[in-house]
Structure 1
Amino acid sequence: MNQQELIVKANQEVARNKEKVENDPYRLRFHIMPPVGLLNDPNGFIQYKGIYHLFYQWNPFETAHGSKFWGHYMSKDLVNWEHQPIALAPSEWFEKNGCYSGSAIEHDGKMILFYTGNVKGEKGERETYQCMAVSNDGLTFEKKGPVIHLPDGYTAHFRDPKVWEKDDTWFMVLGAQDLHEQGKVVLYSSQNITDWEFHGAITGSEMNGLGPFGYMWECPDLFELDGKEVLLVSPQGLEPEGDLYHNLFQAGYFVGEFDYETQTYSHGDFTELDRGFDFYAPQTTIDEKGRRLLFAWMGITDDNEQYQPTIDNGWIHAMTLPRVLSLKGGKVVQQPVEELKKLRKNEISYENVQVNTEILNLDNIQGTSMEILMDGISYQTDSFEITFRGAASFFYSAKENKMSLHRKNFKDGLIESRHCQMHGIKKLHVFLDTSSIEIFVNDGEEVFTARFFPSSNNESVSFISEGNLQFNMKKWNLG
């Protein structure tokens, strides 16, 4: 099937399911979602000619991981997003089983996409190609085919090109697996974006002081942030370790120094970027304001994915809110972009709220889509808890200096938890959507992101503390 035939077929699927999808009570109010089917990794995030573009991995035909298209959203303000025509469909020999993840650059006034062409043979054997597509308008793309073939020493798990320019040279990092099934990040460079020189692995499992650290590293993104080079990456195959690495796959970062002359990267320890249940494959861009912005997939591929209730209505997964990154004390900090304030309606504020051993429900602090800002937090207590719509809760143990996010498991309804150390909480900034929660702690020092599915008749937010808890609060309806 050629590209246009695939696009027509996908559009028919959108139209056929439109009413069912849009009437789903768990449809989000202010997050990016697929119009039908499955969404996963953010791709090609760029501000081009003043407009933000976000592409995404998309299977329009089912709520499972099949042959991926590149869906496309555009926005002038990071808040109001409009769905655009499909950018890439898996129609050519070099991508026939999926246009996999990649990135976008601007070059000579054109938008250039780099992506992985996925090919599977009749016996399941895999081929991989790094491909290029070119657009004069950011809407229609001409495929140029493969620009990089698989180098020696690596399996066909070799994907997710992220491209940037430095001193008139183009660089590309890719996620890879070597022949010993160790995850790596490899580097290429180019003077003309079509001819690429291979420089080998710059970091990975069994490199740079790391021991065994996963069998595949996906979605690398290397960029300068406040004088350091930060590498975002999503390693697969990490075993749980204390409170760490409890999702099936992880997403996190290294902070270090990249030497452009020797093409070497030295770095510190790996840190998870988000402490919740649903955060993977983050990708960044730098905008005209000089901000380093991030989107991530608010989902994960695991055994419970198939039990999400939105599947009954023909769709699954969403993106996180857009976040701006900074580096503080060697730690990557994430904060919601300022533009999200445009969503605010009907401000309610409370001063000097007191909570103790009785459950507290505040008048007007309820709803399905809202922003809550708690600051001036002080406490003389061993612990306190905030429950959201009876289906998720944030718990802090001052005794153990530990935060936890609890929710009901999609499959069996039992409570599951994610944890993180935190010495003192001064501020909580919560974005609650119909079926998602994002909690920014202490101005984004830590973040918890999760999907959850409360009953439609529960819109409450409640507070309880073992001892005295005190805070100021503002709340807005959003959407």
Structure 2
Amino acid sequence: MTEWTREKRYQRYEEVDQQTIDILTDQVEKSKYRQTFHIQPKTGLLNDPNGLIYFNGVYYVSHQWFPLGPVHGLKYWYTYTSKDLIHFNAEGPSLKPDTRDDSHGVYSGSAFEYNGNLYYMYTANHRDDDWNRISTQHIAKVNHDGSVEKFPKAVISAPPEGYTQHFRDPKVFTKDGVFYAIIAAQNDLEQGRILQYYSTDIVNWELQGEIQTNLEAFGYMWECPDYFDLDGHDLMLFCPQGIEPSGEQFRNIYQSGYIMGQYDLNQLKMNHADFHELDYGFDFYAPQTFLDENGQRILIGWMGLPEINYPSDKDGWAHCLTIPRVLSVEEGNLKQRPIKALEQLRTNKETALGYANKFTRQLHPYDGKQYELIIDILENEATEIYFEVRTSKSQTTLITYNTRAKKVTLDRSESGKLPEHVDGATRSTYLDTPLSNLQIFIDTSSIEIFCNNGERVMTSRIFTDDDATGIKASTESGQVYLRFTKYDLKDDEG
């Protein structure tokens, strides 16, 4: 097991010899957990999605990247381009830690357009001799040849008085010709907050102040903020750290969610309802949104969490990005649906129609590990329904629906190897309406479950053996009439 000293964590990728890179790359490529239709790191660790934008007919998707191992170290941005958000071209490292201000990492940020050009705003991380953090906000221009040119100095050189150096993750948006940047912050009382800046020329940025919410004591840091208006509602996304579990809520080490209401951009006042989690699975964090070519609001998240050790770590890599989701607000509720373009990956359609009861019924003797499964519940007289995917004689990933409580539970206690430092092996969520539909995306080592056409989503990594390929359905008592539709998913161009 590699001992990740501070020196090793902060090696520059460019200074590592090619033989070491080749050995690591070969090790990663041989990993049995490698995904097929998700963005994953070439080597090392992937975390927050960054710089998401549709610009001049091309999608740009970047992610935080430590190239040398499955740990958090010296961060780069690794960038992909795409025409459809399904097939991606790896462009390689874009933003690199090559200045004094970002000597200890190019941290998260966003993309925006200005005067016909593409720009990034990001957090630069520097450590002094005593290892004190110094966070500054920078801008870089993406040239037409793909090269990145950083502005010569920080555009926001320090957090304002009353806030700590936990000051990062700028998300830029525009309104009425003015550029705004919301930035994650922590005040001197160690409470999470969001600050708002504005600019008319993207060089000179002025602080407007702290965004006012009714969440006064809600964690010690709010990471990865995002703001947008959608279907007549204003939404603010952020990731609070330090929230205690409450029933079925807030069961992960850190949370990711949103508040929805109306935002007064000038008065910095967000009138909103309760904070809601975006995803009720085990592995979802740091999402970012953007508009696609049709004006739809798209969300991509990090399928992982900090401070968790995953089974793929031993193979020299960790984490991936979620599939892109389309957001909408319908009857006052946020819905998340997989983008329609994923249908391009479908092959080998199979269907099954029939009853399931307390005697387990194998609906597909299926040999494979990457597929989309749509389950329609046509009639339900069961007290509980059990759906099993990636099953074998010794392993299974179990989805349970309790009819009376309208409760969906994901249980990965028998899904093979489990991540370390995770509290429990089940996650649950309550639906607003009775379960009528599940749309499930299975990749080699992940599952994404969309309940009731996007009413709730559950995202998790699973690390089953190669022979765990079955699909089953059964009930606790009573019977249920089901229609199963399954497609193999294959990205031939990925």
Range into which the TM-score falls when normalised by the shorter chain:
over 0.9
Aligned to 2:387: 386
Shift of 1:11: 9.2
Distance 1:258 1:14 in 2: 48
How far has the Cα of 1:318 moved from its partner?
0.3
SS in 2 for 1:85: strand
Write the letter of the residue equivalent to 2:349: E
Tell me the secondary structure at the aligned position of residue 160 of structure 2.
coil
CA 1:11–1:292 in structure 2 vs 1: closer, same or farther (change >3 Å)? farther
The question of 1:88 aligning with 2:95 is answered yes
| Residue in 2 that maps onto 1:440 | 450
Residues 406 and 415, structure 1, Cα contact 8 Å, conserved in 2 = no
Letter in 1 for 2:401: Y
Aligned partners of 2:366 and 2:335: how far apart in 1? 28
Question: Following the alignment from structure 2 to structure 1, what is the Cα–Cα distance between the partners of residues 17 and 223?
Answer: 29
For 2:287, the aligned partner's letter is P
Q: 1:217 aligns with which of 200, 211, 222?
A: 222
| Separation (CA, whole Å) in 1 of partners of 2:246 and 2:145 | 44
3-state SS in 1 of match to 2:295? coil
In 2, the alpha carbon distance for the partners of 1:314 and 1:67 equals: 16
- Relative distance call for 1:458 and 1:68 in structure 2 (3 A) is same
Distance 1:228 1:277 in 2: 28
2:426 matched to 1:417? yes
Q: Deviations over 1:437-467 (max 9, x none)?
A: 0000000000000001001111111111122
Assess if the C-alpha contact under 8 Å between 1:407 and 1:415 holds in 2.
Answer: no
CA distance in 2, matches of 1:414, 1:114: 35
Contact 1:14/1:60 (8 A) holds in 2: no
CA distance, structure 2, for counterparts of residue 152 and residue 414 of structure 1: 37
Aligned to 1:180: 189
* 8 Å CA contact retained: 1:372, 1:476: yes
Contact preservation (8 Å) 1:111, 1:138: no
Report if the CA contact (8 A) 2:118-2:141 is conserved.
yes
Match of 1:473 in 2: 484
Provide structure 1 residue ranges, at least 5 long, that are not aligned to the other structure.
Answer: none
Match of 1:462 among 467, 472, 489: 472
Which residue pairs with 1:375 in the alignment? 376
- 2:436 matched residue in structure 1: 426
Give 1:72's aligned residue. 79
Which runs of no fewer than 5 residues in structure 2 stay unpaired?
1-10
Contact map agreement 1:385 1:395 (CA 8 A) in 2: yes
2:4 corresponds to? none
Asked if 1:41 corresponds to 2:48, the answer is yes
Query: How far apart are residue 10 of structure 1 and its match?
Result: 6.7
In structure 1, C-alpha distance between the alignment counterparts of 2:423 and 2:289, rounded to whole Å: 35
Counterpart amino acid of residue 476 in structure 1: Y
**CA–CA separation in structure 2 for the residues paired with 1:385 and 1:142:** 54
Q: Which residue of 1 aligns with 2:348?
A: 346
1:260-271 matches, within 5 Å, as 260-271=265-276
Residues in 1 aligned to 2:422 and 2:459: alpha-carbon distance in whole angstroms: 19
1:452 alignment partner, one of 446, 462, 471: 462
Number of equivalent positions: 468
Which one is further off, 68-77 or 19-28? Answer: 19-28
1:19-168 correspondence runs (5 A): 19-137=26-144, 139-144=146-151, 145-149=153-157, 150-168=159-177
The 5-angstrom pairing of residues 193-232 of structure 1 reads 193-203=202-212, 208-232=213-237
| Residue of structure 2 in register with 1:335 after alignment | 337
Q: For each residue in 1:46-76, what CA deviation from the matched residue of structure 2 results, as whole angstroms up to 9, or x when unmatched? A: 0111111111000001211111101111111
User: CA 1:380–1:81 in 2, change beyond 3 Å: closer, same or farther?
Assistant: same
Contact 2:222/2:238 (CA < 8 Å) preserved in 1?
A: yes
Percent identity over paired residues: 38
Per-residue deviation, 1:365: 4.1
Deviations 1:216-247 (A, max 9, x none): 00000000111111111100010000110000
TM-score normalised according to structure 1 size: 0.94
- Equivalent-residue separation in structure 2 for 1:65 and 1:246 (angstroms): 23
Residue of structure 1 equivalent to 2:8:
none
CA contact (8 A) 2:365 2:471 kept: no
Separation in structure 1 between the aligned mates of residue 198 and residue 16 of structure 2, nearest angstrom: 36
- Change in 2 beyond 3 A, CA 1:440/1:14: farther
1:8 equivalent to 2:14? Answer yes
Please give the secondary structure, in 1, of the residue aligned with 2:156: strand
- CA shift at 1:211, angstroms? 4.3
Report the CA distance shift for 1:412/1:357 in structure 2 as closer, same or farther (over 3 A): farther
CA pair 45-197 structure 1, distance change in 2 beyond 3 A: same
Q: Which amino acid in 1 is paired with 2:457?
A: V
Does the CA-based 8 Å contact 1:7-1:86 persist in structure 2? no
Deviations 1:265-293 (A, max 9, x none): 22211000000000000000012201100
Q: Secondary structure at the match of 2:62?
A: strand
Change (3 A) 1:163 1:14: farther
Contact 1:6 1:91 in 2 (8 A): no
Distance 2:314 2:51 in 1: 30
* 2:313 aligned residue: 311
Partner Cα distance (2:16, 2:83) in 1: 26
Structure 1 consecutive aligned stretches of length 4 or more whose deviation exceeds 6 Å: 412-415
**Counterpart in the other structure of 1:362:** 363
In structure 1, C-alpha distance between the alignment counterparts of 2:365 and 2:16, rounded to whole Å: 42
